[in-house]
Amino acid sequence: KQEVTQIPAALSVPEGENLVLNCSFTDSAIYNLQWFRQDPGKGLTSLLLIQSSQREQTSGRLNASLDKSSGRSTLYIAASQPGDSATYLCAVRGNDMRFGAGTRLTVKP
Amino acid sequence: NAGVTQTPKFQVLKTGQSMTLQCAQDMNHEYMSWYRQDPGMGLRLIHYSVGAGITDQGEVPNGYNVSRSTTEDFPLRLLSAAPSQTSVYFCASSPGLAQETQYFGPGTRLLVL
């Protein structure tokens, strides 16, 4: 059974810092890995999708990497802003889709 | 293009009542799914469908029924609500099963007393 873990559970940083969020998974037989953002009381917004054959994807200040063999992904956020404050979820897609519990990020002005 | 829509936004039920959570998408996506999100936990898959007329169970299907009579709609039925079903429910869709980005609805917050 696929298990997805996100560390840390919460993170607070001052504005302008670069930061890394971690996601690990136990079964490397995946189709893809997706990073989502969730604002309080809202649905999920897809940030980046990495196919199993890819190593990384970039969108603006966000960069996600995937190391399938070690079961790890990282989401790198450059020059963080208060508007980046949200919960970040990773999800791996194998036979079904499994989510981590998320990292709650607070960026202080 | 409304994307994925869910109704209602919020619902209170008494134990034993039944209800249907509605989900619709206007993107002609084949794959649709229902998740529940509980505090401190990730989303867990309840049921999914790979196309009209085809449904399958996810990780936590007990107490829920689904059907998929059209490509657009994927309702989730609670047969006899229990307090353990208090949660936030999300519907999602994607063009295909394996390689595609999933798009999520805004969620339905359900409280069972």
Put simply, the answer to whether A97 touches B105 (Cβ < 8 Å) is: no
DSSP string, B90-108: EEEEESSSSSS--EE---E
State both tokens at A86: 């949200």
For a pLDDT cut of 70, what percent of chain B falls above it?
A: 96
Chain A contact present for B103, CB below 8 A: yes
Which pLDDT score, from 0 to 100, does residue A95 have? 78
Which pLDDT score, from 0 to 100, does residue A87 have? 96
Put simply, the answer to whether B58 touches A96 (Cβ < 8 Å) is: yes
Put simply, the answer to whether A43 touches B99 (Cβ < 8 Å) is: no
Torsion angle of C-alpha atoms B25, B98, A46, B71, degrees rounded to 10: 0
Residues sharing a CB contact under 8 Å with residue B36, sequence separation 6 or more, in sequence order: B43, B44, B46, B60, B85, B87, B88, B89, B90
- Tell me which residues of chain B, numbers 38 to 67, contact chain A at a CB-CB cutoff of 8 Å: 40-45, 48, 58-59
Put simply, the answer to whether B107 touches A43 (Cβ < 8 Å) is: yes
Which pLDDT score, from 0 to 100, does residue B98 have? 64
| Alpha-carbon gap: B90 to the closest alpha carbon of chain A (Å) | 7
Q: How confident is the model at residue B99 (pLDDT cuts 50, 70, 90)?
A: low
Q: Is 90 exceeded by the pLDDT of residue B41?
A: no
More confident residue, A73 or B101: A73
Residue of B nearest to A9 (CA): B40
- What are phi and psi for residue B86, nearest 5 degrees? -65, 120
Which pLDDT score, from 0 to 100, does residue B78 have? 96
Put simply, the answer to whether B48 touches A96 (Cβ < 8 Å) is: yes
Which pLDDT score, from 0 to 100, does residue B101 have? 82
Mean pLDDT of B98-104: 79
Chain A contact present for B27, CB below 8 A: no
| Mean pLDDT (10-residue bins), chain A, 109 residues | 92 96 95 93 91 94 96 97 97 89 96
State both tokens at A81: 């802003």
Mean pLDDT of B84-100: 87
Put simply, the answer to whether A34 touches B102 (Cβ < 8 Å) is: yes
